[in-house]
C-alpha cells in the first residue's frame, strides 16, 4: 500500500494515480475518499463546488474497484475522480448554471462529454461553481458566491470556469470539465496556475451543455499537467465523426519526439499594454522553446481589435437570442452584470451581426495564411494576473480600464475562428500570483499544441508549485 501522505497523492498526475490503481497499490475508493475529505475541508473557504455528489462518487468508485478486481480497466481514467462545471449535465443531479433561475433543475441524462468520461472509467465528484450562465470572466457569482483563488483568497479565479480552475489548482479533483466561449477555460487556467485546453471547435460535443453561444462554445478540460490534458482530451473527443482529421492525434498520452523544423510565431505586438511580469514570463518561455530546437519567428496579427469587437457582437447576439424569453419573464432573477449583457445583446441589429460574421471570415482567412508560415503562435493568455474580488475599473495614464475587459484581450479571437488553444503556466509574479502563456495551432492540431506545451512544462515544472490553500 502507499506510504505518501494524502496531500501528495492529491497532486499526482492522472497517469501516476492510474498506475497505482491498476497495480493495486491503492483503490479508487481510497482516492475518492481522500479528495472528498479535501473538498469538505477546503471548499468552504474557496467555494469551488456548488454540489458535491459524495454518495454517488463513492458508489461509482466502488464499481470501478469491482471492475479492477475482475481485470477490467477502461483506460487511464479508470477510477480517477474528476469534477464537472455546473453548466454540463450529470444524470440525476441539479444543473444550476450558476443561476437562481435554474436552481431546481435536475437533468435526466449525462451530457455527451460526461458519458465519455464515465465510459473511460472516471469517477464524478460533483458540480463546480461558475459565472452565472457562463457569461462572465471572473466567477463572481451573485447567487452562489464567488469562487476564490487558492493562491490568494481575496482574488478572482477567472471565469467563467472559475470553480474548475480553483478545484484543480487546490487538489480537489484531478481534472475538471469547463466550457470556453471567449476564454473561459484558458483565463482561469492562467489565473490559477494550471493547464487549460480549448480544443478545435466541434471536436468535443456540446450536447447536454447549456448553451451560451452556439457558434463559439467549446468544451475542454482544466488539469495540473499537460499529460493530464492529453488524457482528458482523448477521452472526450468525438472520434467517430473526426477520425479522418484526427488520425495523427495521440492515443496513449505520450508526447511526440518529432518536433524538428517546427516554427513557432511570437506575437510580440501583444506585449504592449501587458503587465511587465507577464511579458518577462512569456519571453522566458520563448527562450526555452528556442533552446529546445524550435525555430522562433516574430509574426504579426494586426486584427485582434477587430476580432474582439466581432466576437463581442456574435456572443452577445447569440446569448441574448437564447435567453430572450427567459429574460422577458424573469429579468429580475438574473444577476445584474449578466442581465445587462443580455439586454445589450438584444440591441444589436441583424446588420451588425452579419458584419461581425464577415469580419469573422476575414480573420479566419488571415489566420489560415499565418499558419502557412508557422506551425504555432504564442502570446500571453491574460495580460494581467488575478485581481481582487469586486475590484473596480482603475485609472491608467488617464484612461479608465475595467480589468475584466483585459482578461479576454488575447483569448476571444480563437473562439471566433475555432482553433485549438492551450494555456500553460509560465511564471509567478512578485505577489505570488501565477500567469500563463497561450499556444495556438491550426484546427485539429491538438497533438502539436500538447507537444509544444509539454516542452515548456518539462523545463519549468510549474505543476510542482502548490498554492497556499493546498
Provide the residue ranges of all domains of the chain, joining segments of one domain with +. Answer: 6-464
Q: What is the CA radius of gyration of the chain?
A: 21
Report the alpha-carbon distance of residue 132 to residue 140 in Å, rounded. Answer: 8
* CA–CA dist 82, 173 (Å, integer): 5
Task: Return the pLDDT at 121.
Answer: 97
Which residue is listed with cell 444524470? 91
Catalytically annotated residue among 85, 198, 442, 466: 85
pLDDT at 399 over 80: no
- On whether the CB atoms of residues 414 and 421 are closer than 8 A, the answer is yes
pLDDT digits (tens, 9 = 90+) for 234-266: 999 985 443 333 333 443 434 456 688 899 999
Whether residue 68 is predicted with pLDDT greater than 70 in this model: the reply is yes
| Integer angstrom CA distances of residue 148 from 159, 294, 411 | 11, 37, 22
* Percentage of residues in the chain having pLDDT higher than 90: 88
Contact 64, 121 (CB under 8 A): yes
d(CA 323, CA 144): 20
Q: Is 160 a catalytic residue?
A: yes
pLDDT digits (tens, 9 = 90+) for 100-124: 999 999 999 999 999 999 999 999 9
Catalytic residue among 27, 99, 164, 184: 184
* Fold adopted by 6-464: Amidase signature (AS) enzymes (3.90.1300)
* Reported pTM: 0.95
List the catalytic residue out of 27, 160, 205, 320.
Answer: 160
Amino acid at each position: 500500500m502507499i506510504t505518501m501522505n494524502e496531500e501528495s497523492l492529491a497532486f499526482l498526475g492522472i497517469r501516476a494515480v492510474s498506475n497505482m490503481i491498476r497495480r493495486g497499490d491503492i483503490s479508487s475508493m481510497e482516492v475518492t475518499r481522500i479528495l472528498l475529505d479535501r473538498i469538505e475541508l477546503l471548499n468552504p473557504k474557496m467555494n469551488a463546488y456548488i454540489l458535491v455528489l459524495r454518495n454517488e462518487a463513492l458508489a461509482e468508485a466502488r464499481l470501478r474497484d469491482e471492475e479492477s478486481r475482475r481485470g477490467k480497466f477502461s483506460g487511464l481514467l479508470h477510477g480517477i475522480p474528476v469534477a464537472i462545471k455546473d453548466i454540463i449535465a450529470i444524470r440525476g443531479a441539479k444543473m444550476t448554471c450558476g443561476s437562481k433561475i435554474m436552481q431546481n433543475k435536475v437533468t435526466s441524462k449525462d451530457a455527451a462529454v460526461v458519458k465519455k468520461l464515465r465510459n473511460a472509467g472516471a469517477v464524478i465528484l460533483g458540480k463546480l461553481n461558475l459565472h452565472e450562465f457562463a457569461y462572465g470572466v471572473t466567477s463572481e457569482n451573485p447567487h452562489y458566491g464567488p469562487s476564490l483563488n487558492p493562491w490568494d483568497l481575496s482574488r478572482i479565479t477567472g471565469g467563467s470556469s472559475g470553480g474548475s480552475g480553483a478545484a484543480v489548482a487546490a487538489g480537489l479533483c484531478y481534472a475538471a470539465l469547463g466550457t470556453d466561449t471567449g476564454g473561459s477555460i484558458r483565463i482561469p487556467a492562467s489565473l490559477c496556475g494550471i493547464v487549460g485546453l480549448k480544443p478545435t471547435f466541434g471536436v468535443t460535443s456540446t450536447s447536454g451543455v447549456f448553451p451560451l453561444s452556439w457558434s463559439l462554445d467549446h468544451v475542454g478540460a482544466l488539469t495540473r499537467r499537460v499529460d493530464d490534458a492529453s488524457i482528458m482530451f482523448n477521452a472526450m473527443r468525438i472520434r467517430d465523426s473526426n477520425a479522418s482529421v484526427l488520425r495523427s492525434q495521440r492515443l496513449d498520452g505520450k508526447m511526440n519526439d518529432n518536433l524538428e523544423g517546427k516554427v513557432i510565431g511570437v506575437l510580440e505586438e501583444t506585449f504592449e499594454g501587458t503587465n511587465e511580469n507577464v511579458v518577462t514570463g512569456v519571453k522566458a518561455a520563448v527562450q526555452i522553446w528556442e533552446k529546445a530546437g524550435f525555430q522562433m519567428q516574430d509574426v504579426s496579427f494586426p486584427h485582434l481589435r477587430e476580432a474582439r469587437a466581432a466576437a463581442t457582437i456574435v456572443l452577445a447576439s447569440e446569448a441574448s437570442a437564447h435567453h430572450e424569453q427567459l429574460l422577458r419573464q424573469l429579468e429580475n432573477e438574473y444577476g445584474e452584470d449578466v442581465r445587462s449583457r443580455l439586454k445589450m445583446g438584444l440591441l444589436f441589429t441583424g446588420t451588425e451581426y452579419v458584419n461581425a460574421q464577415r469580419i469573422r471570415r476575414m480573420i479566419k482567412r488571415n489566420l489560415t495564411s499565418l499558419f502557412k508560415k508557422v506551425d504555432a503562435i504564442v502570446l500571453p493568455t491574460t495580460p494581467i494576473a488575478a485581481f481582487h474580488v469586486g475590484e473596480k475599473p482603475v485609472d491608467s495614464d488617464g484612461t479608465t480600464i475595467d480589468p475584466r475587459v483585459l482578461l479576454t484581450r488575447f483569448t476571444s479571437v480563437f473562439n471566433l475562428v475555432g482553433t485549438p488553444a492551450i494555456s500553460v503556466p509560465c511564471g509567478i509574479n512578485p505577489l505570488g500570483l501565477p500567469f500563463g502563456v497561450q499556444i495556438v495551432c491550426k484546427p485539429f492540431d491538438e497533438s502539436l499544441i500538447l507537444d509544444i506545451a509539454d516542452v515548456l512544462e518539462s523545463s519549468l515544472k510549474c505543476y510542482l508549485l502548490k498554492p497556499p490553500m493546498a
